Amino acid sequence: MKRAKKSPSQKTWRRVRVGGIVQGVGFRPTVFRLARRHGLVGEVRNTAHGVELILGGLDGAIRGFLDELPRAIPAPGRIEQLTEEPTAPIPGCNDFSIAPSVSAKTIEVVIPPDQATCADCLRELFDPSNRRFGYPLITCTICGPRYSIIESLPYDRERTTMRAFPLCAECRAEYEDPEDRRFHAETVACARCGPNLELLSPSGPVACADPIFATVDVLRVGQIVAVKGIGGYHLACDATNEAAVAELRRRKRRQHKPFAILVNNLEVAAQYCTIGDVEASVLRSREAPIVLLKRRGPVLPEVLAPDNNRLGVMLPYTPIQHLLARHFDALVMTSGNITDEPIRHTEKGMRDLLGPVADFALTHLREIINPSDDSVVLVQRGEPVLIRRARGHVPTPLLSDVKMPPILAVGPDLKNACAFGLGQRVYFSPHIGDLEYPAAFRRHVEEIERFGKWFGEKPRAVACDLHPGYLSTQNAHRLAASWGAQVIEVQHHHAHIAACLAEHGLSGEIIGVAMDGTGFGSDGAIWGGEFMVASRAGFQRFGHLAYQSVPGGDRSIREPWRMLAAYLIEVFGVEFAEMILKRHVAASVDIQQVARVLSGPIRAPQTSSVGRLFDAVGVLLGFPTEITYEAQNAVAVESLCGGEQPPPYELQLSKAANVGPDDDPDVFEISLRGLFEGIVVDLETGVARETIAGRFHAAIIEMIVQGCRRIRERTGLAHVALSGGCFVNTILVEGACARLEAEGFEVLRRRVVPPNDGGIALGQIAVAATQMAAQ
Ligand SMILES: [Zn+2]
Ligand SMILES: [Zn+2]
Ligand SMILES: [Zn+2]
């Protein structure tokens, strides 16, 4: 950086452009105070690219200011680029000011994420002498909604949904006072000028002195309330009231999938769950996600999360949640929707819930423009892993080590999230969900339109899954045709591994272990237990779980007993398999039906999926023959495992009979014969289910180690990427990492983007960017 050569006493003028997370985080007020402290004059303004400063003063003072700036900005502010150049003086300028924002074609925006209520606002909320005492939408320069209410950039009140609420004289005075902590707080409001709460019943507004206390009253008697949050509506009920929770399950048509709970503070959470230091700090973070904690015995009703040794817990992150949570031991706080559809965030969405699902709605008129669910975090090996990337994390971009033209990645069909790559940044949409739901597919389309709106650029490439039947893939082809963009199809498991490489900024080859439920393989089979050597440019498969016929396609996913029957028939023959099912599976199932499909004239699809294997083993261990959410039985099997590490079941690695188009000529397959023989012997001899679950996990870990060892012998590679939905399983992750590291491997996992299909879009972008760079 060149410095102007001037005498120390002479005033100079510099233009400084700052990029990164610099809007909506109290950046301008910080600059304002700091500039005054250093005796500088000039101005600061938001632009479509970040923040621009014009500084006038002695060179030493400007240096001092710039040195101090990075340390002075409040979290979660982040300076990614800073450039400075000489500029002309501002005529007649003898003070420092915050200038009006300038808009332009937006291509480098960083939209601030939503922030949990800060400690200062919380103090005011509960201080009877404060003028915002009990004001349920209290915010300041560093906390409150951001992304969810921003219509366009730069970030100023008139481009947020707070535009509808003109400031009263007192709020205006705070907004304009440089010494006030609400100086230029774009979301500032109070009970007089801002939105206020209203409790609605299906027949209209409920007349009450205080909507919070009225809500507490109805929750106490077991009713269900839709509560407006930051990114959408939650459905709340008393989590200690088993009948209320069961009723919520019935109305939401959600039989088994866990409900998250909201508790007032860490001390309360510790009564229900064990909380480590990392978990505690994640719970208290300004992103305030749901954290999956180990349950501590049956303190809360089992119906909150059946067959699951974890419970999703969050602490209040909005003033409304703070006002409600302190009256309860625990509240269910689950996304306001039916089954697994996207979270409802509009007035109309709330009206649809009010009556059929919720008895009441606690709402206000601050509109939500950009919806998002709660983020979900799991701590593995002492590190937080994002399982669902949404509120608090979106839309903060991930930094890429390579520069790319505009690329849209549409993600996969399950756990969909899409992403937009531009320059050195990758922006994720919030978690959308399973595109088989029409409402989720509509949200998927909206999120893609949102990227268009933010960035004002047409993608040059659209990256998608290889699966021809995916709605996301078909949509990608349509979009690319309309934009004149190129389509880049990325094999699902390659995308899983490429996402891991991109997250860690690695460009070379790595051993990739991708394990999940379903992904379309390049040989037409359903993959999900794959060993590959992969780079961002391509992959070659070195091994996989032995193929197993799938009797009846998607039906075997929802009814894993069918998959179990198919494995058992393959290993033991129909008669013995039928006997095993009769003895160990409570529900009556018709194995002959499966046998007929398998021996019928139409060749059943083949799968190497570890997810399917988990679900099937779950049935054998007494869990449901039919499941209602993805990985239900896998979670149940993991939850059975205790601290001990029993010996693994036997596995055989051998050369595969068939070599697919992307396979190494010596591709190996792993037979499950020994595993099923071992489980059946253990069941017949009365070995505890917990031990069987432990031995099963040990076998999968052993399989990972043996597979990696074999690939290292062939290639010399010693870096392993573990990726795919199965690596949400902590027993697998911790076991596999410990064993691999003991054998000299270096193990990489995904933490910033979810290891499950929620992170696939990053892999698609990484592969597409590499292929485009090579063109
Ligand atoms: Zn605050
Ligand atoms: Zn006001
Ligand atoms: Zn996957």
* Spatial distance between the Cα atoms of 417 and 400, rounded to a whole number of angstroms: 18
> Could you identify the residue written with the tokens 């009010």?
354
Can you name the residues that pair with 531 across neighbouring β-strands?
513, 543
Looking at the CA of 528, name the nearest ligand.
3
The residues whose Cβ lies within 5 A of ligand 3, an ion, are: 516, 757
The residues whose Cβ lies within 5 A of ligand 1, an ion, are: 118, 121, 140, 143
Looking at the CA of 519, name the nearest ligand.
3
C-alpha 77 to ligand 1 mean position (Å)? 15
> What tokens were used for 646?
């029993």
Do residues 584 and 616 make contact, with C-beta atoms less than 8 angstroms apart?
A: no
The amino acid that residue 670 corresponds to is: I
- Secondary structure, 3-state, 749-766: ECCCCCCCHHHHHHHHHH
C-alpha 614 to ligand 1 mean position (Å)? 45
pLDDT mean over 616-640 = 96
Judge whether residue 743 has pLDDT over 70: yes
The sheet carrying 398-409 orders its strands as 419-428, 398-409, 461-465, 486-490
pLDDT band at 421 (very low <50, low <70, confident <90, very high): very high
C-alpha 492 to ligand 3 mean position (Å)? 6
Judge whether residue 1 has pLDDT over 50: no
The residues whose Cβ lies within 5 A of ligand 2, an ion, are: 168, 171, 190, 192-193
The 8-class DSSP code of residue 391 comes to B
Do residues 138 and 195 make contact, with C-beta atoms less than 8 angstroms apart?
A: no
In this structure, how many other beta carbons lie within 10 angstroms of the beta carbon of residue 676? 23
C-alpha 747 to ligand 3 mean position (Å)? 19
Do residues 513 and 721 make contact, with C-beta atoms less than 8 angstroms apart?
A: yes
C-alpha 170 to ligand 2 mean position (Å)? 6
The amino acid that residue 495 corresponds to is: A
Nearest C-alpha neighbor of 430 from the set 390, 485, 402, 469: 390
Judge whether residue 102 has pLDDT over 60: yes
pLDDT band at 103 (very low <50, low <70, confident <90, very high): low
The 8-class DSSP code of residue 155 comes to -
Express each pLDDT in 426-457 by its tens digit.
999 999 999 999 999 999 999 999 999 888 88
> What tokens were used for 130?
């404060």
Looking at the CA of 530, name the nearest ligand.
3
> What tokens were used for 699?
């076998």
Strands 225-228 and 360-363: parallel
Peptide bond into 306 cis (omega under 30): no
In this structure, how many other beta carbons lie within 10 angstroms of the beta carbon of residue 588? 8
pLDDT band at 106 (very low <50, low <70, confident <90, very high): very low
C-alpha distances in Å from residue 113, one per residue of 76, 248, 684, 735: 9, 30, 54, 35
Express each pLDDT in 519-540 by its tens digit.
999 999 999 999 999 999 999 9
C-alpha 191 to ligand 2 mean position (Å)? 6
C-alpha 121 to ligand 1 mean position (Å)? 4
C-alpha 495 to ligand 3 mean position (Å)? 9
pLDDT mean over 48-54 = 88
Chain Cα centroid distance, residue 407: 21
3-state helix, strand, coil in the chain (%, to 5): 35, 25, 40
C-alpha distances in Å from residue 728, one per residue of 155, 478, 622, 631: 36, 33, 22, 10
C-alpha 349 to ligand 2 mean position (Å)? 29
C-alpha 180 to ligand 2 mean position (Å)? 14
C-alpha 123 to ligand 1 mean position (Å)? 9
C-alpha 240 to ligand 1 mean position (Å)? 31
Please report, rounded to a whole number, the percentage of residues in the chain having pLDDT higher than 90. 86
pLDDT mean over 52-79 = 91
Q: Which region among 243-257, 302-316, 392-406, 409-423 has the lowest average model confidence (pLDDT)?
A: 392-406
Judge whether residue 6 has pLDDT over 80: no
Q: What is the CA radius of gyration of the chain?
A: 28
Chain Cα centroid distance, residue 253: 23
Question: DSSP characters for 506-524?
Answer: --S-EEEEEEEEEEE-TTS
C-alpha distances in Å from residue 512, one per residue of 152, 376, 652, 705, 720: 40, 25, 20, 12, 6
Looking at the CA of 182, name the nearest ligand.
1
Query: CA 708, 709, 713, 716 torsion: positive or negative?
Result: positive
pLDDT mean over 294-318 = 94
Judge whether residue 711 has pLDDT over 50: yes
C-alpha 81 to ligand 2 mean position (Å)? 36
Nearest C-alpha neighbor of 731 from the set 389, 493, 378: 378
C-alpha 765 to ligand 3 mean position (Å)? 15
Which pLDDT belongs to residue 7? 54
> What tokens were used for 126?
């509960």
Query: CA 184, 161, 399, 119 torsion: positive or negative?
Result: positive
C-alpha 195 to ligand 2 mean position (Å)? 10
C-alpha distances in Å from residue 729, one per residue of 199, 465, 507, 611: 41, 24, 27, 11
Q: CA dihedral defined by 95, 98, 101, 102, rounded to 10 degrees?
A: 20
Which pLDDT belongs to residue 695? 98
Do residues 212 and 219 make contact, with C-beta atoms less than 8 angstroms apart?
A: no
C-alpha 113 to ligand 1 mean position (Å)? 14
Question: Cα–Cα–Cα angle for 635, 641, 643, nearest 5°?
Answer: 140
Q: Which region among 76-80, 132-136, 612-616, 708-712 has the lowest average model confidence (pLDDT)?
A: 76-80
C-alpha 145 to ligand 1 mean position (Å)? 10
Between 6 and 301, the higher pLDDT residue: 301
Which pLDDT belongs to residue 642? 84
Judge whether residue 170 has pLDDT over 90: yes
Which pLDDT belongs to residue 105? 54
Do residues 680 and 580 make contact, with C-beta atoms less than 8 angstroms apart?
A: yes
Looking at the CA of 131, name the nearest ligand.
2
Judge whether residue 108 has pLDDT over 80: no
Judge whether residue 610 has pLDDT over 50: yes
Query: CA 618, 619, 621, 627 torsion: positive or negative?
Result: positive
Which pLDDT belongs to residue 2? 45
pLDDT band at 4 (very low <50, low <70, confident <90, very high): very low
Q: Which residues contact 751 (CB under 8 A, 6 or more apart)?
A: 383, 384, 385, 386, 503
Express each pLDDT in 246-290 by its tens digit.
999 999 999 999 999 999 999 999 999 999 999 999 999 999 999
Looking at the CA of 125, name the nearest ligand.
1
Half-sphere exposure in the Cβ direction for 69 (13 Å, CA): 26
C-alpha 33 to ligand 2 mean position (Å)? 24
C-alpha 165 to ligand 2 mean position (Å)? 9
**Residue 556 main-chain phi, psi, to 5 deg:** -70, -15
